[in-house]
Amino acid sequence: MEYSTQMNAARRGLITKEMEAVARKEGVAVENLRDLIARGQVVIPANKNHKTLDPCGIGRGLRTKINVNLGVSKDCCHGETELEKARVAIELKADAIMDLSCYGKTAEFRRRLITMSSVAVGTVPVYDAVGYYDKDLREITPEEFLGVVEKHAADGVDFMTIHAGVNRETAARFKKTPRLTNIVSRGGALLFAWMELNGRENPFYEYFDDLLEICRRYDVTISLGDACRPGCLKDATDAAQIQELITLGELTRRAWEKDVQVMIEGPGHMPLNEIGPNMLLEKKLCHGAPFYVLGPLVTDIAPGYDHITSAIGGAIAAAHGADFLCYVTPAEHLRLPTLEDMKEGIIASRIAAHAADIAKGIPGARQWDDAMSEARRKLDWEKMFQLAIDPEKARRYREESRPEKEDSCTMCGEMCAVRNMNRVMGDPGPV
């Protein structure tokens, strides 16, 4: 039977090949997965034109997923370098890649990325619009904004960040609510500026139904962007952020009426104690739709280490219900990330996601840790390396400082508690 989107199929009781693939990878019953998709609590970003995709599910009861941002800018316009990052990101088990390109031959880069990517690819069409039309922001028409969405969808983009919630009502609330860092979302700032320059409604909000028709045609998942996400701790959970979230909840229902899959994007920078309540708010106001967070970064004082501040916040957010973590690298706030920056960001995000999956009781999550603990008890170094989230780094650290006794390390040597307890307890030690 024909179906228009994964949600449409699920609501008709159909099981698609994408649902079967996700259920297999997650170890869940495909009928249960189908029902969650029908209710909007799980999405499978899978554009009909993305032929190389190995689909993944995002949402309730599934492993926490991570996204990697990359792309070309005017200052760093090296497409081959960014494609190499994408290749390495996939090797490092990223679940999705967002192309944030905003300069140069963006269409060529995007198509090459989609062709080589086995994971879901996302974009932010408003970034591309200014460069694509080569005109001042204020002169871009609503039809032209939607035209870029159509081009991205036709190319095979699986999910798109659309800042439809920063409408004139949200903008008015923002202007009445003093902020330390104003609007830090690039897409949100562009659309806010467009509205101010033209005295008009946000085109993605005004023509949301037209946007939905495009997404339905190609089965593009909408990632409803958080233009008013806090850019510092002081701005967290303010009136503008919550006003936008309420609007995103209303837009979610409108999308579901058209069988269009939806994710919700969230903060941002946020104190530790506000993360849990924010996750609850999103799930309540947006009807259980999957939540996609940038971080949250739990302190503002760590440039060069924001992959750590983000991983702390990401673990807490996911443990409280967030479903999708956008990685942050050590280069955040400083420059375009290098390949090594990207790797550090991915590993930090994967650690956060896995820690949260253990807390959420995701089936099979703890088995990995238990296997590592067994290898440590046996001082089975090779098995430890195989199980490590970053085997290369673990091996390198071991080789850089070899112990006198192979069944120890240079921290404790003959005083190694594990080694001595094995001898006392009669355990075999290394195998």
Cα(228)–Cα(179) distance, integer angstroms: 10
Q: Which helix (H) or strand (E) segment is 95 a member of?
A: none
- Residues in the annotated binding site: 69, 98, 127, 163, 185-187, 226-229, 265, 269, 292, 333, 409, 412, 416
Give the side-chain half-sphere CA count within 13 A for 26.
29
Residues near 419 by Cβ (< 8 Å), separated by ≥ 6? 379, 405, 407, 408, 429
Q: How many CA atoms lie within 13 A of 227 on its CB side?
A: 28
> Using CA atoms, how far apart are residues 144 and 236, in angstroms rounded to an integer?
33
Closest to 328 in 3D by CA, of 305, 358, 354: 305
Best CA proximity match to 265, nearest among 52, 96, 26: 96
Chain-centre distance for alpha carbon 356: 15
Q: From CA 394, how far away is CA 418, in angstroms rounded?
A: 18
Annotated binding site for [4Fe-4S] cluster: 409, 412, 416
For helices 106-116 and 125-133, what crossing angle results, to 10°? 140
Sorted by sequence, the CB contacts under 8 Å of residue 332 that are 6+ apart come out as 297, 303, 306, 307, 310
Binding site residues for substrate, as ranges? 69, 98, 127, 163, 185-187, 226-229, 265, 292
